[in-house]
Amino acid sequence: MYRILIADDEGIMLESLKNIISSNYGNECEIHTAKTGRVVVEEAEKYPPDICFMDIQMPGLSGIQAIREIQKFNRSVVFVIITAYDKFNYAKEAVNLGVMEFLTKPVNKKVILEICSKAMEKVDSTRQKRSDDLRIREKLETVVPMIESGYINNILLQDDFQTYQDNYRELLDIREEYGYMIVAEFGDSTENGVLTNAVGASVKANKFYSTFREIAQGFFECLVGPIMGNRIVLLVPYRNSRESYEERVEVVTRTRNMVHKLESRIDSKFRCGIGRVKEMGSTMKESFKEAMIALRESTSHVIHIEDVPAAQKYDGEYPRDLERRYEKRVMDKDVAGALSCAEEFIRWMEKQPGVDLEDMRIKILELVMGVEKKAFFAGTVKYAISCRRNYIHEIQEYTDIEGMKKWFLGKTSEICSNMESAREKEAVSIIEKAKSYIRDNYKKDISLDEVSREVDISPYYFSKLFKQETGGNFIEYLTEVRLRNARELLKDSGLSIKEICAESGYSDPNYFSRIFKKYEGVTPSEFRERLR
């Protein structure tokens, strides 16, 4: 069914168009008419048309003005202008308004039907697109919660999350560079600020999760994480790197209202902790930790970390973001970026009232040892307590800021460099150890599994690493070692071919002969004959 609106101040033209369309399309069309610009707009509001045949010159509002008014509340109408005035300005205006056709009177029946058919096809295409979009949206509604849960899980559980972040942000259309976490905790009742029956509540949560998600996203444009025990984590993207006092109060108020609505719709009690604004990515995990601290340190229904007495507070403006940037640059092995942050930290400390050289030494040691520990836990460098035995002695030798700065920058550069080469050196060390074992044991029936066990890594990873470092696979290298030995024995010994076969790690002389010929181009006997 197509709803068609015909607007023309000439009664004859109006009836003529109506009869042509109804006689050819019958019950497929519901036709309405109007003789003035005002009436056509009113009709379009009451009976939203799919197609509108519009005369330009009508009493009151002109056809162009009427189109503009209708498009304010209905952008999908297909407009066809029919006019007795063949004026360029009208045609130009019609094009700007997206009119499908601009016809000049008189118009014959054939043209009207062709235009009507074309307009109907356009309506069908628009409807189909709308239907397809709805189907896609319905499918996305089932997929998006899983993607959101995956994103939040990766932030909280994976240290190398940066690798995947851009993909998640593109899928979820996250454009903000910052955000904060809200941890919602639930239980049967509250006793001394603690929610009871955490296990039972987590089971119950599977039933109310969709309702929780709907309510949470009604208060915040947020991502909703999975059920984690008796908690659900929300990630709220944020436009700025920090909140003002007023904004923080507004977030707390909104969270309190959200808790009130949750408890009115869900048979559970709720509490929420709110973390600070952090940069999107792995640092967002800190906001989660702060939200958890807020929950632990307070019995309130809703608590922001900034409202927790002495919770991670600093006397003055501590450059948290700068420290995080320094750590991130080091972990990314970005030497230039890490050195820039280190120099900025020195400048900040110089400006702090009451901070002396000893204070600076302690902070520099803390930063250096902190990133070394992070690098160790990330598996990128080896670690031993004894490696640091000279740190205090070294830094105390410097009695001015420039000296300590030199030590700080030197250590920062060294850590980045060590991280860059540690894995490569480790890989080389493993392969050299494997090669040595092969050279010492090639006479035995050794396998890839045996050698990988010797170097203490999985067979699959050993095979991949061996090829990466040597350019060939394990069997090729073992064969090369065995045949090198065979060649030497064929040159200098009086051993038989069968004995040389056994000495080279082969149990079957025929197989040994075939392998030797494949690589050397001749059999062992022919090789020996050529040497005589």
162 pLDDT tier (thresholds 50, 70, 90): low
Q: Are both 194 and 295 inside the same structural domain?
A: yes
Q: What average pLDDT does the segment 46-69 reach?
A: 89
- All residues at 6 or more sequence positions from 62 whose CB lies less than 8 Å from its CB, including other chains: 37, 56
Please compute the mean of the pLDDT values over residues 435-458 and round it to a whole number. 88
391 and 462 in a common domain? no
Residue 232 sits in the same domain as residue 327: no
pLDDT at 424 over 60: no
Which pLDDT score, from 0 to 100, does residue 425 have? 57
* Residue in the structure block whose two tokens are 């071919």: 497
432 part of a folded domain:
no
Query: What value, to the nearest 5°, has the Cα angle with vertex 114 and ends 112 and 119?
Result: 90
More confident: 329 or 135: 329
How many domains, in total, are found in the chain?
4
Whole-number pLDDT of residue 171: 80
Query: Rounded distance, CA 274 to CA 430, Å?
Result: 47
Residues 266 and 149 in one domain: yes
Whether residue 296 is found in the same domain as residue 341: no
**466 residue type, one letter:** F
Amino acid at position 317, single letter: E
What average pLDDT does the chain have? 85
How many CB atoms neighbour CB 383 within 10 A? Answer: 11
User: Average pLDDT of 185-196?
Assistant: 77
- Report the distance separating Cα 241 and Cα 319, nearest Å: 12
Asked if 375 and 482 sit in the same domain, the reply is no
Contacts of 13 (CB under 8 A, 6+ apart): 55, 82, 105
Which band of pLDDT confidence, cut at 50, 70 and 90, is reported for residue 88? low
CA distances, 438 to each of 173, 431, 488 (Å): 53, 10, 17
C-alpha dihedral sign at 7, 10, 13, 14: positive
Domain assignment of residue 150, given as a range: 144-307
**Does any domain span residue 454?**
yes
Q: Are residues 20 and 97 in the same domain?
A: yes
- Which run of H or of E encompasses 427? helix 401-441
Contact predicate 409/342, CB 8 Å: yes
The CATH number for 286's domain is 3.30.70.270
Q: Give me the CATH number covering residue 59.
A: 3.40.50.2300
What is the mean pLDDT of the segment spanning 215-238? Answer: 93
Q: What pLDDT does residue 221 have?
A: 93
By CB atoms closer than 10 A (0-12, 13-18, 19+), residue 386 is exposed
**Confidence band of 419 (pLDDT split at 50, 70, 90):** confident
State the first-to-last Cα distance of the chain, in angstroms, to the nearest integer. 100
Per-residue confidence band for 374, with pLDDT thresholds at 50, 70 and 90 = confident
User: Is the preceding omega at residue 106 within 30 degrees of 0, hence cis?
Assistant: yes
Comparing 158-162, 367-371, 425-429, which segment has the lowest mean pLDDT?
158-162
Q: Are residues 404 and 464 in the same domain?
A: no
Same-domain status, 283 and 245: yes
Residue 290 lies in a domain: yes
Given a cut of 80, whether residue 199 has pLDDT beyond it is no
Q: Is residue 523 situated within a structural domain?
A: yes
pLDDT score at 421 = 61
pLDDT at 511: 92
Q: Is 115 a domain residue?
A: no
Please enumerate in sequence order all residues whose Cβ is within 8 A of that of 351, keeping only pairs 6 or more positions apart, or say none: none
pLDDT the model gives residue 441: 92
The pLDDT of residue 274 is above 90 = yes
Answer whether residue 102 is part of any domain.
yes
What would the DSSP string read from start to end of 487-509? HHHHHH----HHHHHHHTT-S-H
| pLDDT tops 60 at residue 314 | no
**Residues 177 and 286 both lie in one domain:** yes
Distance of alpha carbon 126 from alpha carbon 75, whole angstroms: 11
* Tens-place pLDDT, residues 12-48: 888 899 999 988 888 889 999 999 989 999 999 999 9
One domain for residues 346 and 295: no
**267 and 178: one domain?**
yes
Does residue 311 have a pLDDT over 60?
no
129 in any annotated domain? no
- Residue 58 predicted with pLDDT over 90: no
Check pLDDT > 70 for residue 423: no
Q: Tell me the per-residue pLDDT of 98-139, one tens digit each, with 9 for 90 and over.
A: 888 888 888 888 999 999 999 999 999 988 888 887 777 666
